[in-house]
A and B are shown apart, each in its own frame.
Chain A
Amino acid sequence: MTIGISIIVLGVIGIIAAVLLFIAAKKFYVFEDPKIGEIEELLPGANCGGCGFSGCHAFAVECAQAKSMDGLICTGVDAEGMKKIAGIAGLTPVEAQRKIAVIKCSASCENRDPRNIYDGVRSCAIESALYQGESDCIYGCLGCGDCVKACPFGAMRLDPGEQLPHVDLEKCTGCGKCVETCPRHLCELSPIHTDRPVVWVACANRDRGPVAMKECGVACIGCTKCRKVCPVEAPSITSFLAHIDQEKCTSCGECIQACPRHSIRSSAG
């Protein structure tokens, strides 16, 4: 008998609740473009912000409402994926140049003698704010791995021996999270082509040549040799530091051979 009453009472409460929920669902119904959901399915869901929007959902909303795909690029999706997204949005896909992050420091421990040992918090932000790093170079990588922690795609790893971050070319999407994280501005986004590697100056030392030479074994000293050998004049030198213009560079590798300091690197290894 008691069981019967309980079943009836709970059943009635259930029915009332169901009716209320049905009314609420009808009354507060929000229409969402089904395209948004479909696009979001294709996005990586890392919310990295590389597209310029606050997250993957915001990007999907923008795609669904946009009139053209101009400027709408998710760095975490390959060209095939972007075509699919454009297809769902009913727009023509725009070919985008893929970018990857390169690290503008190549000074491993043997190239750059530590003058002292930093024993504080393993965070580049704090080390650069309170001290100037362990070596004499005040421009180079601090090796605490803030960029590695910041990477939403797991594309970076810290080499324990070298104390330098390395970028996995397959995984890096060029979202730019590391660029904004590095307190020494050592990460740079560089366009990568399918047929040839990226060539860049892996140094940020702006000290005069003799000073830079003392500070680090692989520091760029601004000797202009790279500029002299380059057939397309891609390297330019400002404040004793070379920088390769990726628009001009043809990845011929002449500068890598010519650099007396071995500070120019290629993504081909």
Chain B
Amino acid sequence: MKTFKIGGIHPPENKTTGDSPVVDMPVPGELRIMLSQCIGVPAKPIVKPGDKVEYGQMIAEAPAFVSAPVYSPVNGTVKKLEPTRTPQGIWQDSIVIETDMDNPVSWPAPRTQEEVNDLSPDEIIDLVGNSGIVGLGGATFPTKVKLSVPKGKSVEYVLINGAECEPCLTCDDALMRYDAHNIVKGTLLIMKATGAKSGIIGIEENKPDAIKAMKAAVSGERSLNVVTLKKKYPQGGEKQLIYALTGRTVPAGALPIETGCIVDNVATAYAIYDAIYNRRPLTERIVTVTGPEISEPGNFRVKNGTSIKDILDFAGGVPEDTGKIIAGGPMMGKAVSTLETPATKGLSGLVALPLSESLRKKEGPCIRCARCVSVCPMGLEPYLLMLQADVKKWDDMAASGVMNCLECGCCTYTCPSYRPLLDMIKLGKQELRKK
């Protein structure tokens, strides 16, 4: 079974929602749509308070190449433009839309297969850009930029990431089980847009139903392959996945395109299908809500801008002794500091942890066991980076390759002294970015 070479850990998977179907969450009365929903320049609002908006109408445009527009998920009225807190507690601009409950969304007429076949690669890339699609694995990199292959480079493989190595999350799993055919259609569109000859869909071994569904869906396509990957975190990391599926290594600091690969999440492939076949811009996504005490965990299709509180209420409410709610998976996700914050394009899951499981353990001294070194999938030395961050030697951190860190958290997970290795590494990365 294929996997990446160095490092990695095996955290307990806790995928309790692995059999749950995708449930559409009811549209809330008020949506708060963040303007900054991708890595890159935040979108610029083009509506003002009082404006009527329709489903699929652009409400904020992309002011730069590395940016993505934002679309209205409902028919409604713009109430106000005001800052809203992100999960980390930072104020960012948002558009508040009041849903018009009496005027439900009428879906646009889909494109026929012939119409889709007539689209040229450039037209596909433009449609992807004009649908606000970003990488739905969590990094939220604008997909249009990824598909625009720079001159002189060519794409050999399109790798579709269905690894979902994060514990607890099952949103990609659910999508693959229920919409495998449409993911394949999206993958073929990515291949057409980039001129790639073949596509590989990588899925971790712990999702047998998804593997079966995807294998059935690709059976007629000779250019597509489904590969079963070993269960190991972070299998879904971009560079790790490229190594596992093609055996190629992305050089430090380079983009995957250097190895002739493009990596997209299964949810992104599905969003591309939805945008091109159904003419629907990206306004919703599947969010896994789980946790040991959550009464009705599941995979919910959530409108962009729904508050986290509403989503948790839909899953049976926040359990009483909750200590932490994590936006994203338990490994790479961040604890939310407020429940008022809305769902964005990058929100893959909400994990509610009881107080007893959520507190950090007391930090001890480094005993030089080098476990962090052996699990780092990028071959870094986290203990050393932490020491350098402690004495503010930012340049030394850069020389030790801190910028290659993918913030997977393996080092902190494995440290027997519970040292906050990743926090210090993140601090160093931020200081270096400031320079």
Contacts and interface: CB of A to CB of B under 8 A. Distances in A.
Nearest to B89: A132
Given A119-B360, A121-B420, A125-B427, A130 B88 contact: yes
B211 to A, nearest CB: 36
A208 B335 CA distance: 28
Interface string B85-125: 00011110000000000000000000000000000000000
A129 B359 contact: no
A126 B420 CA distance: 11
A138 B88 CA distance: 11
Interface string B403-424: 0000000000000000010011
Given A116-B337, A116-B338, A120-B360, A133 B423 contact: no
Given A115-B338, A132-B89, 19 more contacts: A115-B337, A116-B335, A116-B337, A120-B420, A120-B423, A121-B424, A123-B427, A126-B420, A126-B423, A126-B424, A126-B426, A126-B427, A129-B427, A129-B430, A130-B423, A132-B88, A132-B90, A133-B89, A138-B89
Contacts of B91: 138
B426 A130 contact: yes
Contact of A132 (B337, B358, B420): B337
Given A115-B337, A119-B359, A131 B88 contact: yes
A116 B326 CA distance: 13
15 contacts: A115-B338, A116-B338, A120-B420, A120-B423, A121-B420, A123-B427, A126-B420, A126-B423, A126-B426, A126-B427, A129-B430, A130-B334, A130-B426, A132-B337, A138-B91
A132 B86 CA distance: 10
A116 B89 CA distance: 10
Interface of A: 115-116, 119-121, 123, 125-126, 129-133, 138
Contacts of A121: 363, 420, 423-424
A115 B88 CA distance: 12
Contacts of B89: 115-116, 131-133, 138
A126 B358 CA distance: 19
A120 B89 CA distance: 15
B337 A131 contact: yes
Contacts of B423: 120-121, 126, 130
B244 to A, nearest CB: 30
Nearest to A134: B337
Main secondary structure of the interface of A (DSSP, over half): loop
Interface residues of B, number: 18
Contacts of B424: 121, 126
Nearest to B337: A116
A18 to B, nearest CB: 41
Interface of B: 88-91, 334-335, 337-338, 358-360, 363, 420, 423-424, 426-427, 430
A10 B89 CA distance: 73
A-B pairs with lowest CB-CB distance, top 6? A132-B89, A121-B420, A116-B337, A129-B430, A121-B423, A126-B423
A123 B426 CA distance: 13
Residue among B89, B91, B334 with the highest chain A CB neighbour number at 10 A: B89
Contacts of A119: 358-360
B418 to A, nearest CB: 11
A119 B360 CA distance: 7
B350 to A, nearest CB: 15
A131 B358 CA distance: 17
Contacts of A126: 420, 423-424, 426-427
A121 B424 CA distance: 9
A121 B430 CA distance: 16
Contacts of B430: 129
B204 to A, nearest CB: 29
A132 B89 CA distance: 5
Contacts of A130: 88, 334, 423, 426-427
A131 B88 CA distance: 5
Contacts of B358: 119
A126 B338 CA distance: 19
A248 to B, nearest CB: 34
A131 B89 CA distance: 6
A177 to B, nearest CB: 13
Nearest to B420: A121
A182 B363 CA distance: 23
B360 A129 contact: no
Nearest to B428: A129
A133 B335 CA distance: 13
Contacts of A138: 89-91
A123 B335 CA distance: 17
A126 B423 CA distance: 7
A215 to B, nearest CB: 11
A129 B426 contact: yes
Contacts of B426: 126, 129-130
Contacts of B360: 119-120
A160 to B, nearest CB: 18
Nearest to A130: B426
A112 B263 CA distance: 46
Contacts of A125: 427
Contacts of A131: 88-89, 337
A130 B423 CA distance: 8
A239 B426 CA distance: 31
Nearest to A119: B360
A121 B423 CA distance: 8
A119 B88 CA distance: 13
Contacts of B363: 121
A115 B420 CA distance: 23
A132 B420 CA distance: 18
Nearest to A207: B91
Contacts of B334: 130
A127 to B, nearest CB: 9
A133 B337 CA distance: 9
B318 to A, nearest CB: 13
Nearest to B87: A131
Nearest to B429: A129
A125 B337 CA distance: 18
Contacts of B335: 116
A251 to B, nearest CB: 36
A125 B426 CA distance: 11
B412 to A, nearest CB: 11
Nearest to B325: A116
